[in-house]
Structure 1
Amino acid sequence: MTTAVDPPVRAAELLVRDAELLVVDGGREIPGGWLAVTGGRVTAVGGAGSEPEARTTVSAAGRLVTPGLVNTHHHIYQNLTRSYAPAVNGSLFDWLTTLYPLWAGLDEEAAYVSAYVGMAELLMGGCTTSSDHLYVHPRPRLVDAEIGAARDIGFRFHATRGSMTRSVEDGGLPPRSVTQTEEEVLADSERLIGAYHDPEPGALVRVALAPCSPFSVTKELMTATAQLAERHDVRLHTHLAEDLDEDTYCLETYGCRPVEYFEETGWLSDRSWVAHCIYPNDAELRRLAAAGVGVAHCPSSNMLIGGGTARVKEMRELGLPVGIGCDGSASTDHASLWLETRAALLLGRYRGGPGAMTARDALDIATRGSARCLGREDELGHLRPGACADLVVWDLHEVALAGALSDPVEAWLRCGPARAWTTVVAGRILVDRGEPRLPGLADALRAHSGIARRMQRET
């Protein structure tokens, strides 16, 4: 640990000061630390007594400050069917087939308000960047609506243009009402890249391409999507090896296991990150690691559905980028990245013993590991000078912290619950004293309630 200042101190737009502990990255922590921000970037960090002047000052006295958490897998629209009783206790395939008909009611308004509410929830749980996998498209321009919500909030957002083309009539799982043709998918994917993808450093909006799964799209679409991503230099995302039924489906339909199918379609590259990745065998894990494929670990969703969990310790030892994903709001039923990071800590220790995972390991997965999955490890997931100014000041009630004197990072995940006291994205305060600073939130919540009731056929 060090209190050195870098680079030289100068006046700042925002100063976060007096932290009990400032976590800069996995190798540097500053007791009593401060952090200066100008132009949406971290300009300096240091220890007590060397703070610069600033236009706005946030006190982090007695609190832990960390990089913002990064969410690598989500289905935000599913907060419209959260904890839907007829679906919650089935298998993955049962859960999906129960909910697909409800999701057929998704339109632009529903996509916008679900995204607005979902991003508010993510911010309150310490998330400053999120991807989202929107793969049901009963109507056009749903991804546009999500991006509109992110822009209105000022949230850092990686929209992934999901797709399903293989309906139940074609041997797939979803009904025809939520699928599209391959031509529609590819044309809209190219349109979204042209309209919204920002490849520049510090980008608030980026676009990736994300056919849903081996049992909902054709092999031809997987291959064509990989080629389109290569042509436009965007990232690729999908579900992979999530369920044993997926093994059976791929063997019966494609004559190979899911990872082999993934490779045959041109996806085995460091352009790709995948959700869940629970059932690859040892040889397949090594192939994924050698190619640089990232994994979105979704601990709560996998436990709630009862489908197993990823071998995170082995993955990290092999060098795979591993990040945290909260997964869909109708499977996890919350969007707190703090809860997901804590679940990753518990699962890691449960699977591998007490030495398999520490709180710092879990924090590293939720920050630097997640940033690697999104291809942004240079500017997200840490607070070194030059990084995007995405950070969280954490709050735990003094009762919960009573007696926790020796290690603020371990206490952050072991005690709790923790909430974001202040959440900053690109230098802007979006959560202040635990409450979102979002002027459209009340209206979005009212609209969300009406849409959710209609979608669930309630009165």
Structure 2
Amino acid sequence: MSSIVIKNAAIVTMNAQRDIVEGELWIRDGVIAAIRPGNAQAENPAAPERFPQQDLPIEPSFRADQVIDARGRLIIPGIIQGHIHLCQTLFRGQADDLELLDWLKLRIWPLEGAHDAESLYTSARLGIGEMFRCGTTAIIDMATVHHTESVFQAIVDSGMRALSGKCMMDWGQDVPATLMEKREASIRESVDLLEKWHGKGDGRLRYAFAPRFAVSCSEELLLEVGDQARRHGVMIHTHASENRGEIALVQEERKMRNVSYFDHLGMADENLILAHCIWLDEDELDLIERRRIKVAHCPSCNLKLGSGIAPIPEMRRRNIAVSIGADGAPCNNNLDPFTEMRTAALIQKALHGPTAMPAQQVFELATLGGAAVMGMADRIGSLEVGKRADLAMIDLHKLHCAPLEGADVYAQLVYQARGSDVVLTMVDGQIVYEEGKLTTIDETTLLRDASQAINRVARRAGIVR
């Protein structure tokens, strides 16, 4: 049995009452065992205070193996990134100032197709390390077509919590031969990966089928994906309605808009995660609400690619589950969730006025919203007794946050904080980043590997750099 107590903390619980507790947080075997107000002594974990609910049973003789002093710092639920491509982190700076379909066809697809197993492992570690430094503890990831086990291995080795799956592509114009699959082979490999990796890393890695989008998947493939996902009880993660050109292609080929098409195929339910959802009509919004489809909002990516602004306030009015994600590094170009929160708030205010997307609501999307979209709201997303110990510690005693007196904590986190203000990140009770140092990833080796890998992959892709 391992245990940690974080004392003298300001704990932003994100529980139903949105309590902010000044006190202690106890962790036992990766689970939050107690949250207590005041300065109860670490050597007396059986103190009578109970907040905000009954603690898990703690024996009087129970002692903490590690005590962390969080004086002057915030403890927040770990940030959950709702849409990421770890396979693309290596391509940061390789595909700028392009619209979506050109970005894919001219740069990203050739680069993805040129990955080898080692370069993909490096790309995944690079993304995970950056996100750990910024307080991210869980991700919804879409790998590329080949070498998916490299991404899974990086997730397990690092300690990240992830919903991830092999990208599936068996259709479409201008898809390079290095990514084009046969439908039967794509399904077979996906199921094999699910059976081998689902639940690995002490349950932190969960599998999701990941057909890229309707433009690159045959109808037969999508029908089989829906059937397999239901058979295995797992989620489906894909893209939809990101770009007007993409929507036009789907309408031309399938005679329907994206969400309506997925509904027609029987895929539209609470286990479907759609990234982007910018250009939706009223019927599609109704479908997402009625079928309880989940949405991943990627504000910075959508701005950088000139794709548009998703109707998030309307989705929240309809109680649609929405998460926030950075998307891939080459369409962002960073994976800082604090940047995404700030951007998510500001772009809606430009359209709907300054009261749209208030800071607390945005922070909810990055924590509770991400947990709901992952299908893990009972395990992560808030700091409550019985939930997994996924959390981050924030130091706001910086010039860009001062003065702190009288400021709303959610406004501080959304409008002022940066990823660089994170001083500790923990997943399942394991410290993966602390005071400037990753604990599960060797940064010096990783930076060397990244430089070598991008040169190798770019040459193989025939891209002049």
| TM-score, length basis structure 1 | 0.91
The percent identity for this pair of structures is 30
Task: Give the counterpart of 1:59 among 69, 73, 81.
Answer: 69
Q: Which position in structure 1 is the counterpart of 2:53?
A: none
Cα drift, residue 136 of structure 1: 3.2
3-state DSSP of counterpart to 1:176: coil
Q: Which position in structure 1 is the counterpart of 2:22?
A: 32
Give the distance between the partners of 2:269 and 2:235, measured in 1 at CA. 10
Q: Do structure 1's residue 133 and structure 2's residue 157 form an aligned pair?
A: no
Aligned residues: CA RMSD? 1.9
Letter in 1 for 2:189: D
Task: Give the counterpart of 2:102 among 88, 94, 102.
Answer: 94
Q: Do structure 1's residue 437 and structure 2's residue 439 form an aligned pair?
A: yes
Contact 2:371–2:380 (Cα < 8 Å) also in 1: yes
3-state DSSP of counterpart to 1:320: coil
Q: Which position in structure 1 is the counterpart of 2:56?
A: none
Q: Which position in structure 2 is the counterpart of 1:149?
A: 154
**Equivalent residue runs for 1:398-437 within 5 Å:** 398-406=398-406, 407-418=408-419, 419-437=421-439
Contact 1:243–1:307 (Cα < 8 Å) also in 2: yes
Q: Which position in structure 2 is the counterpart of 1:23?
A: 13
Give the distance between the partners of 1:245 and 1:434, measured in 2 at CA. 43
Give the distance between the partners of 2:126 and 2:16, measured in 1 at CA. 31
Contact 2:84–2:327 (Cα < 8 Å) also in 1: yes
Q: Do structure 1's residue 76 and structure 2's residue 86 form an aligned pair?
A: yes
Cα drift, residue 408 of structure 1: 2.4
Cα drift, residue 96 of structure 1: 0.8
Q: Which position in structure 2 is the counterpart of 1:42?
A: 32
Q: Which position in structure 2 is the counterpart of 1:123?
A: 132
Q: 1:321 to 1:393 in 2, by over 3 A?
A: same
Letter in 2 for 1:90: L
Give the distance between the partners of 1:177 and 1:189, measured in 2 at CA. 17
Q: Do structure 1's residue 163 and structure 2's residue 172 form an aligned pair?
A: no
* Superposed CA offset, 1:176-228 (max 9, x none): 2212111111001110111011299x721100001001111101101100100
Contact 1:92–1:305 (Cα < 8 Å) also in 2: yes
* Superposed CA offset, 1:428-449 (max 9, x none): 1111113211343322221111
Letter in 2 for 1:159: S
Letter in 2 for 1:351: L
Give the distance between the partners of 1:186 and 1:324, measured in 2 at CA. 29
Q: Which position in structure 2 is the counterpart of 1:104?
A: 113
Give the distance between the partners of 1:340 and 1:424, measured in 2 at CA. 20
Gaps of 5+ in 1: 1-10
3-state DSSP of counterpart to 1:20: strand
Q: Do structure 1's residue 294 and structure 2's residue 322 form an aligned pair?
A: no
Q: Which position in structure 2 is the counterpart of 1:7?
A: none
Give the distance between the partners of 1:365 and 1:324, measured in 2 at CA. 6
* Superposed CA offset, 1:386-442 (max 9, x none): 101000101234322222312222112222334321101000111111321134332
Cα drift, residue 20 of structure 1: 3.4
Give the distance between the partners of 1:57 and 1:360, measured in 2 at CA. 30
Q: Which position in structure 2 is the counterpart of 1:6?
A: none
Q: Which position in structure 1 is the counterpart of 2:277?
A: 277
Contact 2:14–2:368 (Cα < 8 Å) also in 1: no
Q: Which position in structure 2 is the counterpart of 1:114?
A: 123
Give the distance between the partners of 2:145 and 2:328, measured in 1 at CA. 13
Equivalent residue pairs, number = 438
Contact 2:172–2:215 (Cα < 8 Å) also in 1: no
Q: 1:199 to 1:153 in 2, by over 3 A?
A: closer
Q: Which position in structure 2 is the counterpart of 1:3?
A: none
Cα drift, residue 273 of structure 1: 0.8
Give the distance between the partners of 1:439 and 1:118, measured in 2 at CA. 11
Contact 1:167–1:175 (Cα < 8 Å) also in 2: no
3-state DSSP of counterpart to 2:194: helix
Contact 1:125–1:336 (Cα < 8 Å) also in 2: yes
Q: Which position in structure 2 is the counterpart of 1:182?
A: 183
**Equivalent residue runs for 1:5-20 within 5 Å:** 13-20=3-10
Letter in 2 for 1:431: Y
Q: Which position in structure 1 is the counterpart of 2:59?
A: none
Give the distance between the partners of 1:291 and 1:50, measured in 2 at CA. 47
Q: Which position in structure 1 is the counterpart of 2:374?
A: 374
Q: 1:199 to 1:386 in 2, by over 3 A?
A: farther
Contact 1:79–1:329 (Cα < 8 Å) also in 2: yes
Q: Which position in structure 1 is the counterpart of 2:452?
A: 450
3-state DSSP of counterpart to 1:399: coil
Q: 1:192 to 1:126 in 2, by over 3 A?
A: same
Q: 1:183 to 1:12 in 2, by over 3 A?
A: closer
Cα drift, residue 52 of structure 1: 3.8
Letter in 1 for 2:159: G
* Superposed CA offset, 1:273-318 (max 9, x none): 1100011112210111111100000000001011102111110111
Q: Which moved more, 1:404-413 or 1:279-288?
A: 404-413
Q: Which position in structure 2 is the counterpart of 1:311?
A: 311
Cα drift, residue 26 of structure 1: 5.3
Q: Which position in structure 2 is the counterpart of 1:388?
A: 388
Cα drift, residue 253 of structure 1: 0.5
Q: Which position in structure 2 is the counterpart of 1:221?
A: 221
| TM-score, length basis structure 2 | 0.90
Cα drift, residue 148 of structure 1: 0.9
